[in-house]
Structure 1
Amino acid sequence: MSLHIVCPHCHATNRVPADRLTAVPKCGACHQALFTALPVELTEDRFTRHIDNNDIPVLVDFWAPWCGPCRMMAPAFAKAAAILEPGMRLVKVNTEEEQSLATRYQIRSIPTLVLFKGGREISRQSGAMGDQEIMRWAKSTIQ
C-alpha cells in the first residue's frame, strides 16, 4: 500500500510505500527529505494541499508571534514533530499573517491545535501544552 505525502519543501505530492516511511524517503520532484523532524510553516496557498493530500494525519498549531503561550509552546511542538514523524505531519500557521485561515477554522484563542485526517478536522485543543501532552493528545485522538 502506498501513501500520499506532501513535500515540506516544494509541496509536491509523492507516493511512498507505507513500509518505507521510516526509510528517509525523498521527494520525487526536489529530491529533499519528505520528513525533517520539524514543523512545516504553511501559508494559505499551501495549507489546503497539505491537509487534503497527505494520507497521514496533520496536526496544525495556530499561533501568533505576539502570543506568550504560543512562543512558550513552540519548542514543545518542535520536539513532538521530531517524535511523531513520519506517522503524522506537524505544521504551524501564523494567524497574524494568515487571518483568513484563522477565520475559516474559527480560531478564537491561541495557541489552538487542530488535528486533521483525510482532509477533515477530527479534533481540536486550545491552550499551551508540553511535548508529552501534545503527543499523548494527538496519538489518543487518531486511534
Structure 2
Amino acid sequence: MTEPTAAASVQIVCPHCLAANRVPADRPAEKARCGACKAALFDGHPVALTEATFDRLVGRTEIPVVVDFWAPWCGPCRMMAPAFEQAAAQLQPQVRLVKVDTEANPGLAARYGIRSIPTLAVFSHGQELTRQSGAMPLPQLLRWIDAATAYA
C-alpha cells in the first residue's frame, strides 16, 4: 500500500511579518492568511520593499515577483503607479507585485544596476528573469507581465 501524498503547495512570504507560509494548491490563495501574524497574504496592492526586506520576500516566495523600481520625483513613475496598483489587484495571487523606492533604497538600485526608472524586473525564486524600462499603460503592463512570467 502506498502512502498518500501531500497536496502540492507553494511558499508565500507574508508581506507584513516576512514569515514563510505554505499555501496548499487546493485552497484559494487569495484568501490565505499568515500562520504567524494572521494577516492576509494578498490584499490586491503592491508591497513596498526595502533593502532589509527585499531578499527575504523576493528570494523565498515561490510565485513570480514583479518589482517596480521607482522614485517619488519621477514623473513617468507616478504616471504608471495607478496601472501598477490595478495590475496587482488583477494578478494576485498568481503573481506578487512589489515596489522599491530607489531614492530610499540606493543599495538595491545599485545592486541591480538600475540606471533608468521606472524599471520593472521579474524574479523567480530570487533570480531575475527579465526587465523592462519605461512606463506602461495597464493593458501593455498586463501583457508584459503575462509574457515575462509565463515560464517562471
- Please confirm whether the aligned pair reaches a TM-score higher than 0.5, indicating the same fold: yes
Q: How far off is 1:22 after superposition?
A: 3.6
1:30 correspondence with 2:37: yes
Judge conservation of contact 2:23–2:29 (CA < 8 Å) in 1. no
Q: Which runs of 4+ in 1 moved over 6 A?
A: none
Q: Which residue of 1 aligns with 2:130?
A: 123
The two structures have a TM-score, normalised by structure 1, of: 0.97
Shift of 1:23: 5.0
- 1:21 is displaced (CA, Å) by 3.8
Looking at CA atoms only, which structure, 1 or 2, has the larger radius of gyration? 2
Tell me what 2:76 maps to: 69
* Runs (5+) with no aligned partner, structure 2: 1-7
Q: What are the ranges of 5 or more consecutive residues in structure 1 without an aligned counterpart?
A: none
Contact 1:80 1:132 in 2 (8 A): no
SS at match of 2:31: coil
Matches of residues 48-63 of structure 1 in structure 2 within 5 Å?
48-63=55-70
TM-score, length-normalised on structure 2?
A: 0.91
* Percentage identity across paired residues of the two chains: 59
The DSSP-based 3-state class of the residue aligned with 2:69 is strand
CA RMSD of aligned residues (A): 0.9
Paired residue type of 1:105: Y
Aligned to 2:16: 9
Q: For the Cα contact (< 8 Å) 1:76–1:130, is it kept in 2?
A: yes
Deviation at 1:13, TM superposition (A): 0.8
Q: Is 1:136 the counterpart of 2:143 in the alignment?
A: yes
How far apart in 2 are the matches of 1:41 and 1:141?
A: 21
**Does 1:78 pair with 2:111?**
no
